[in-house]
Amino acid sequence: AQTVTQSQPEMSVQEAETVTLSCTYDTSESDYYLFWYKQPPSRQMILVIRQEAYKQQNATENRFSVNFQKAAKSFSLKISDSQLGDAAMYFCAYRRGSSNTGKLIFGQGTTLQVKP
């Protein structure tokens, strides 16, 4: 069975600084997708970034980038130039590549606090 682990329940960062959220996963499959979702207090889960396992290049979306280490099964999220609006709970998630309607397997989440 696949598992996703986020070892940091809470993190804090100063506004404009950089923070890295950790995520490790366990799978025996070679075809899969990884995601970071953000859930602010407003509740809606918003996709931050996605990574296809077959792609060696790390995904980047503006201030958000990932460090995807496939052999180590690690998928960390780096937030640069942190903003107050980045404060939220962040979930790392895994999905099998061969599944049409497969479930997302979520980590336990990391609550990020951004200090002004």
Partner 1 sequence: DTEVTQTPKHLVMGMTNKKSLKCEQHMGHRAMYWYKQKAKKPPELMFVYSYEKLSINESVPSRFSPECPNSSLLNLHLHALQPEDSALYLCASNLVGYTGELFFGEGSRLTVL
Chain residues in the site for partner 1 (CB under 8 A):
33, 35, 37, 42-47, 50, 89, 91, 95-97, 99-104, 106-109, 111
Minimum CB distance to partner 1 smaller for 57 or for 100: 100
Sequence-distant (≥ 6) Cβ neighbours of residue 64 within 8 angstroms: 36, 48, 49, 77, 78, 79, 80
Cβ 108 to partner 1 shortest distance, Å: 6
Strand partners, 105: 94
Minimum CB distance to partner 1 smaller for 14 or for 98: 98
Distance of alpha carbon 97 from alpha carbon 102, whole angstroms: 9
Minimum CB distance to partner 1 smaller for 64 or for 106: 106
Cβ 100 to partner 1 shortest distance, Å: 5
CB 107 within 8 A of CB 38: no
